[in-house]
Structure 1
Amino acid sequence: MKADDMWKVSQGEGITVAVIDSGVDSSTPELRGQVLRGADASNTPKNPRQDTDGHGTNMAALIAGTGVGGGIRGLAPKAKILPVRNVVDGRSDSADRVMDRAIRYAADHGARIINISWGAKAIAQQFPLTQAAVKHALKRGSLIFASSGNSGDTDNVVEQPAGLSGVVGVGAIDSTGKAPKWSTAGDQVALVAPGVDMTTYCTKSKGLCNSWGTSQSTAIASASAALIWAKHPKWNNNQVLRVMMQTAGRPETGEIPSSYVGYGTIRPRKVLLEGEGDPGPANVNPLLAREGATKPDPSASASASKSPSSDPQSTPTAPDDKKGDKKTVAEPKKNDDNSSTLWIAIGAGIAVLLAAAVAIVLVRRRSSASVGL
C-alpha cells in the first residue's frame, strides 16, 4: 500500500470515523487525544470511552492509532474516532433498535465514515429500523462500511448490516490477494481488504497478537476512505466510494462484483499517489447504481484459469478465533541504544513501527479479523 508515501499526502486529518462497537478505551496510549465524546446506544448506557471487551479499541487503533507510547499506528493516524457503544443484552433491546440508534447518532454527530465491525446473522427484513437509519445516514453524507462475516467455511450466512442496501460490505483477503474460505461470500460483499495476520492487542494474554477476520478488513476500508476524503474534502460520500470502487484491484475473470471480492481490493494509493479515479456525479450512489458491474466474457475459453481471488477454496481455513489469539509478537530485545523497535506489516508493503513499551489491553473478539493489503 506504500503507507509511508501515502502519509506524506494524507493521514486522514479532518475526518471523523464513528466506531460502532464495544466502546473505545480512550486511555490507550496510541488513542489519547484521538477519541471524541461519543455515546452508548444500548438500553443500559455506559461510558463509550471505556471498553471492557477490547474489540472496539482494536478497530479504532487500526484506523487511527498514532503509534505513541509503543502502540499501533493505524492507517489514518490523524483521523478522529467517535465511539458509539452498541452492546445488545438480548433481553431489553434488539440488535435492530440498538443499531438504528447507533447509526443515527453517528450520522448526526459529524461522522463522515461509519465503521461497523460487527454483524448479526439475519435476513434484511429483520432489520427494518437499521435500514431506515442507513438511508438517513447516507442522506446526511456518511459512508458506511460493515464486515461481511467470518462464516464462509460453515453456513456462509449473510450478516447484517452488511447486507442492507447502501452499506458497503467488506470481505477479507490474505497477503496473496486470495479470499480465505472463512470470509463470508455473497451479494453483500462490495470490497475486500486485508484480514489475515493483522496485528492487534491479544484477547487472552498481554501484548500483541496476530488476528484475523472481516472486522479488521472493515477497519482498513474505513481508514482508506479517511485518507482519500482528507485529500479531497470537497468530495461527498458517493464520490469517495466511487473512486474506491474504480481503483480497486479487480479479479481477472468472472462476474463483477464477485461473490468473494466484490468490486475488488481496496487500494487508496491509486488515488493518493497515482491520481486515479473519477469522482463523477455527487448525487448518484455508485454501489446502488451497480457502476462497473460486468458479466463474464462469453468468448473466454472455458479452460481459462480461475482468478485466485474468486476461489475461496484456494487458501487454508483460518483457525477459529474463539479458541484464542495466536501469540506472534515476542518481547523485543534491547538493542545497543537501549531502545526497541518492531516492524509489522499491514498487508503487502505496509510497514508500521512499534516501540517497545506496549500498552496492555485485554481484547475479546467477536467477528474480528485482521489482514494486510
Structure 2
Amino acid sequence: MKADKMWRVSQGEGVTVAVIDSGVDSSLPELRGKVLQGSDASTTPKNPRQDTDGHGTNMAALIAGTGTGGGIHGLAPKAKILPIRNVVDGRGDTADGVMERAIRYAADHGARVINISWGAKALAQQFPLTQAAVKYALKKGSLLFASSGNSGDSDNLVEQPAGLSGVVGVGAIDSSGNVAKWSTAGHQVALVAPGVDMTTYCTKSKGLCNSWGTSQATAIASASAALIWAEHPKWTNNQVLRVMMQTAAKPTTGDIPSIYVGYGSIRPRKVLLDGEGDPGPASVNPLLAREGATKPDPSASASAPSSASPSTNPQSTPTATDDKRGDKKTVSEPKKNDDSSSTLWIAIGAGIAVLLAAAVVIVLVRRRGNASVGL
C-alpha cells in the first residue's frame, strides 16, 4: 500500500476512529496515549480500556498502532481510538440493542470513522434499532465500516450490520489482490481490503502472530478513511467514501458492485499520493446512490483469482510458521469455497453472542478472514 510514502502526507492526525468490539487495552505500548475514555454499551458495563479477549485491541493496533517497543504499526498511527465495548451479557440485552447504543455513542462522541469488526448472520429486519442508529450516525457525519464475514458462500444469510443500508461492508484480500475463499460474498460487500497475513497479537499465546479475517480488512479500511480524512478535513463522510470507491481497484469482469469485491479494493495511496478522486457532492451518499454501478462487459478479460486456503487455526498462526496452503487459480470471477470451519464462533461470555427476539439465536462472529483485488 506504500504506507511509508503515504505517511509523509497523512498519518490520520485529528481523526477519531471508534472501535466497537471487545474493548481496547490502553496499556499496550503502541497504543499508549491514543485510546480515549470510551464506553461499554452493555447493561453490565466494564472498563472499555481493558480487553480480556484481545480482538478489539488487535483491531485498534492495526488502525492506529505506533510500533513502539517493537509492537504493531497501524496504517493510521496518529489517529485516536474511541473504544466501545459491545459484548452482549445475555441479561436482557440483544445484539440489536447493544449495537444501537454503541453506534450512537460513537457518533455523539466525535468518531468520524466507526469500525465494526464483527457481525451476525441475520435478516436486516432483526436489527431495526441498529439500522436507525446507522442512519443517525450518517447524519452526524460518521462513516461506518463493518466486516462482511468469514463463511464464504456457505449460505445465503447476510451478515449484519455489514448488510444494513449505509454501512460499508468490507471483504478481505491477500497481498496479491486475491479474494479469500472464506470472505463472505453478497450484496453487503462494498469494498475489500488486505486481510491475510496480518500482524496481530496471538490470542492463545504470547507474542505476535500472523492472522487473517475480514475483521482485519475492516480495520485497514477504517484506517484508510482516517488517512484520507486527515488530509482533507473539510470533506464530509460521503466525500471520503466517494473517493475511496472511485480509486478502488475495480473487478475486471461481472457486475459492479461485485458480490465478491464490491466496488473494488481500497487504495488510499491513489488519493494521497496521486491526487485522484473527485469528492463530489457533500450531501449525497455514493453507496446508497450506487455511484459507479455497472453491468458486466462481455469482452472483459478474466483475471480475478481465488486465494490460498487460510490457516487451519482460524484465530492466528505463529509468525515463524508459514502456514499458507492451496494454489491460486485464474477464473472469470473469484470462486468461493465453503469453509465454514474458518469462521470463529464466539461463545456467550467469552465474546459476542446473543439471543435475539422471536427465539432466533444468532452467534456473532469476530472477523478473522481475508479477501482479494488488485492493489
TM-score tier, shorter chain, comes to: 0.7 to 0.9
Does residue 285 of the first structure (1) align with residue 285 of the second (2)?
A: yes
Greater CA drift, 87-96 or 166-175: 87-96
1:145-184 correspondence to structure 2 within 5 Å: 145-155=145-155, 157-184=157-184
Give the match's secondary structure for 2:87. Answer: coil
Give the match's secondary structure for 2:42. Answer: coil
Give the match's secondary structure for 1:263. Answer: coil
Could you tell me whether the CA contact under 8 Å between 1:19 and 1:60 is conserved in 2? yes
Give the match's secondary structure for 1:97. Answer: helix
CA drift at 1:326: 1.1
Could you tell me whether the CA contact under 8 Å between 2:180 and 2:371 is conserved in 1? no
Structure 1 unaligned runs (5+)? 331-362
Q: Supply the distance in 1 between the matched residues of 2:62 and 2:173 (Cα, whole angstroms).
A: 16
- Specify which of 300, 304, 307 is matched with residue 308 of structure 1: 304
Could you tell me whether the CA contact under 8 Å between 2:12 and 2:229 is conserved in 1? yes
Q: Supply the distance in 2 between the matched residues of 1:315 and 1:8 (Cα, whole angstroms).
A: 32
Quote the residue 2:233 is aligned against: 233
Quote the residue 2:340 is aligned against: none
Quote the residue 2:223 is aligned against: 223
CA drift at 1:328: 1.6
1:1-373 correspondence to structure 2 within 5 Å: 1-155=1-155, 157-297=157-297, 300-301=298-299, 305-308=301-304, 314-319=306-311, 321-322=313-314, 324-329=315-320, 366-369=366-369
Q: Supply the distance in 2 between the matched residues of 1:295 and 1:371 (Cα, whole angstroms).
A: 22
Render the CA deviation track for 1:53-95: whole Å, top value 9, x for unaligned. Answer: 0000000000000111221110000000000000012342000
Q: Supply the distance in 2 between the matched residues of 1:101 and 1:74 (Cα, whole angstroms).
A: 27
Give the match's secondary structure for 1:223. Answer: helix
Render the CA deviation track for 1:184-242: whole Å, top value 9, x for unaligned. Answer: 00100000000111110001111111111100000000000000000000000000000
Give the match's secondary structure for 1:119. Answer: strand
Percent of aligned positions with the same letter in both sequences? 80
Quote the residue 2:343 is aligned against: none
Letter of the structure 2 residue corresponding to residue 279 of structure 1: P
Q: Supply the distance in 2 between the matched residues of 1:369 and 1:63 (Cα, whole angstroms).
A: 16
CA drift at 1:154: 2.8
Runs of 4+ in 1 over 4 A off after TM superposition: 370-373
CA drift at 1:279: 0.2
Give the match's secondary structure for 2:83. Answer: strand
Could you tell me whether the CA contact under 8 Å between 1:213 and 1:367 is conserved in 2? yes
Greater CA drift, 188-197 or 83-92: 83-92
The root-mean-square deviation of aligned C-alpha atoms, in Å, is: 1.8
Give the match's secondary structure for 1:53. Answer: coil
Quote the residue 2:324 is aligned against: none
TM-score (ref. length: structure 1): 0.86
Could you tell me whether the CA contact under 8 Å between 1:199 and 1:210 is conserved in 2? yes
Give the match's secondary structure for 2:192. Answer: strand
Could you tell me whether the CA contact under 8 Å between 1:270 and 1:276 is conserved in 2? yes
CA drift at 1:319: 3.4
Greater CA drift, 284-293 or 85-94: 85-94
Could you tell me whether the CA contact under 8 Å between 1:249 and 1:264 is conserved in 2? yes
Letter of the structure 2 residue corresponding to residue 137 of structure 1: A
Q: What is the count of residue pairs matched by the alignment?
A: 332
Structure 2 unaligned runs (5+)? 322-349, 352-364
Could you tell me whether the CA contact under 8 Å between 2:181 and 2:371 is conserved in 1? no
